[in-house]
Structure 1
Amino acid sequence: MTKKTSNRFSPEVRQRAVRMVLDHGGDHASQWAAIGSIAAKIGCTAETLRKWVRQGERDAGQRPGATTEERGRIKALERENRELRQANEILRKASAYFAMAELDRRSKP
């Protein structure tokens, strides 16, 4: 599964937007209202900003789930696992090929 992600917003802009939601949440009827208002000001969708806020809460330990650092580590481990599986498959096929070649060589007088 490949997900297209956009890096249209720098990490600094994301952090500032999350901080604004958390700092100005009391000025609105709900956190969602604050998210909608701030998202419109920075030019992203409310859902995008909501995801940034939730991840910020996980990173701060205020919400259960994997932190950004843990997610990066998991992603790196999954990539390494995928590469190792591919390497093992190549080695398995090469081993079978050379075993067959050895049998052919031995069977010829």
Structure 2
Amino acid sequence: MARKNYPDEFKRDAVALYRDTEGASIAQIAAELGVSEATLSAWCKSAGVPIRHRRGVVVAEPVLGAESPEQELARLRSEVKALRATEARLSTERDILRSAAKYFAGETNW
């Protein structure tokens, strides 16, 4: 397999995406970006970003009317946190895609 050279900006953005996305594994982020897990892991390690290990998390759907107000508040806070993390991840992905589009548009010689 040919060795690929990625721009430094892409590497920084990929590491930022992993760092800012709670609950996502190296494998998930690497697959989304089209790089190998080992490559992304190496970039994160060189940037000093700790690698999160997979955890088996099971999310149960709440039964309507069976929650106390405190439980509902905790659930809603958890959902808000997850949505904010997703929004941050999507914003970073969008910025990476914009940068990649600019980079590859400048590389073409028609």
TM-score range, shorter chain: 0.3 to 0.5
Structure ID, larger Rg: 1
- The structure whose residues are more often helix, as a share, is 1
> Which has the bigger relative contact order, CA under 8 A and spacing at least 6?
2
TM-score by length of 2: 0.39
